[in-house]
Chain A
Amino acid sequence: MSIQVDLYDRLALNLEADLVQMVNKTSAKGVLIDISAVSIVDSFMGRIIGNIASMSKILDAETVVVGMQPAVAITLIELGLPLKGVHTALDMEKGMRLLKSMIDETEEDADEDQTADDLITE
Chain B
Amino acid sequence: MSQTTHQLLKNKKKNILELWMKNQLADEGLREDLISNDELRSQSEELITALVGNLSSGDFTNLDSDEWSPVIEILGGIAITRARQGFSPRETGNFVFSLKEAILEILTIELKGDPMKLFTESQKINRLMDNLSVVTFETFIKGREEVILRQTDEITEISTPVIRVWDGILALPIIGTLDSARTQIVMENLLQEIVETGSSIAILDISGVPAVDSLVAQHLIKTVSATRLMGAECIISGIRPEIAQTVVHLGIDLSNIITKATLASALAYSFKVMRLEVKKISAVSKS
**Listed stretches A5-13, A16-24, A62-70, A111-119; interface member:** A62-70
Given A90-B200, A94-B200, check contact A74 B191 (CB 8 Å).
Answer: yes
Check A83 for interface membership: any CB of B closer than 8 A: yes
CA gap between A90 and B195 in the complex, in Å: 7
Q: When the two chains form their complex, are residues B188 and A70 in contact, meaning their CB atoms are under 8 A apart?
A: yes
Given A69-B195, A70-B195, A74-B191, check contact A94 B226 (CB 8 Å).
Answer: no
- Which secondary structure characterizes the binding site on chain A? mixed
Q: Considering the complex, which residues of chain A in the window 82-113 have a beta carbon less than 8 Å from any beta carbon of chain B?
A: 82-83, 88-91, 94-95
Check A3 for interface membership: any CB of B closer than 8 A: no
Min CB gap A3→B, angstroms:
16
Min CB gap A98→B, angstroms:
8
* Nearest-CB residue, chain A, relative to B222: A77
Q: When the two chains form their complex, are residues B188 and A77 in contact, meaning their CB atoms are under 8 A apart?
A: no
Check B37 for interface membership: any CB of A closer than 8 A: no
Q: When the two chains form their complex, are residues B200 and A88 in contact, meaning their CB atoms are under 8 A apart?
A: no
Q: When the two chains form their complex, are residues B198 and A88 in contact, meaning their CB atoms are under 8 A apart?
A: no
Q: A49-74 interface mask toward B, CB cutoff 8 Å, 1 = contact, 0 = none?
A: 00000000000000001111110111
- Which secondary structure characterizes the binding site on chain B? helix
Q: When the two chains form their complex, are residues B229 and A91 in contact, meaning their CB atoms are under 8 A apart?
A: no
Q: B209-235 interface mask toward A, CB cutoff 8 Å, 1 = contact, 0 = none?
A: 000000000000010011111111000
CA gap between A66 and B231 in the complex, in Å: 7
Min CB gap B226→A, angstroms:
4
Q: A3-47 interface mask toward B, CB cutoff 8 Å, 1 = contact, 0 = none?
A: 000000000000000000000000000000000000000000000
Instruction: Pick from A65, A82, A90: contact of B194, CB below 8 A.
Output: A90
Check A76 for interface membership: any CB of B closer than 8 A: yes
Residues of chain B lying within 8 A (CB to CB) of residue A94 = 200, 231
CA gap between A76 and B229 in the complex, in Å: 9
Residues of chain B lying within 8 A (CB to CB) of residue A66 = 231
Residues of chain B lying within 8 A (CB to CB) of residue A72 = 229
* Nearest-CB residue, chain A, relative to B256: A84
Residues of chain A lying within 8 A (CB to CB) of residue B187 = 74
Instruction: Pick from A68, A78, A82: contact of B230, CB below 8 A.
Output: A68
CA gap between A83 and B230 in the complex, in Å: 11
CA gap between A77 and B198 in the complex, in Å: 21
CA gap between A13 and B85 in the complex, in Å: 61
Q: When the two chains form their complex, are residues A90 and B228 in contact, meaning their CB atoms are under 8 A apart?
A: no
CA gap between A70 and B232 in the complex, in Å: 12
CA gap between A6 and B158 in the complex, in Å: 35
Residues of chain B lying within 8 A (CB to CB) of residue A83 = 229
Q: When the two chains form their complex, are residues A82 and B229 in contact, meaning their CB atoms are under 8 A apart?
A: yes
Check B192 for interface membership: any CB of A closer than 8 A: yes
Q: Determine which residue in A77, A78, A83, A88 has the highest number of CB atoms from chain B within 10 A of its CB, and name it.
A: A77
Q: Determine which residue in A73, A74, A76, A78 has the highest number of CB atoms from chain B within 10 A of its CB, and name it.
A: A73
Using a CB–CB cutoff of 8 Å, the interface residues on chain A facing chain B are: 65-70, 72-74, 76-78, 82-83, 88-91, 94-95
- State the 3 A-B residue pairs at the shortest beta-carbon distance, nearest first: A70-B191, A88-B231, A89-B231
Please list 10 pairs of residues, one from A and one from B, whose beta carbons are closer than 8 Å in the complex, sorted by A's number.
A68-B230, A68-B231, A70-B188, A70-B192, A70-B194, A70-B226, A72-B229, A76-B226, A88-B229, A94-B231
Taking A68-B230, A70-B195, A90-B198 as known contacts, 8 extra A-B pairs with beta carbons closer than 8 A to each other, sorted by chain A number, are A66-B231, A74-B191, A83-B229, A88-B229, A90-B194, A90-B232, A91-B231, A95-B231
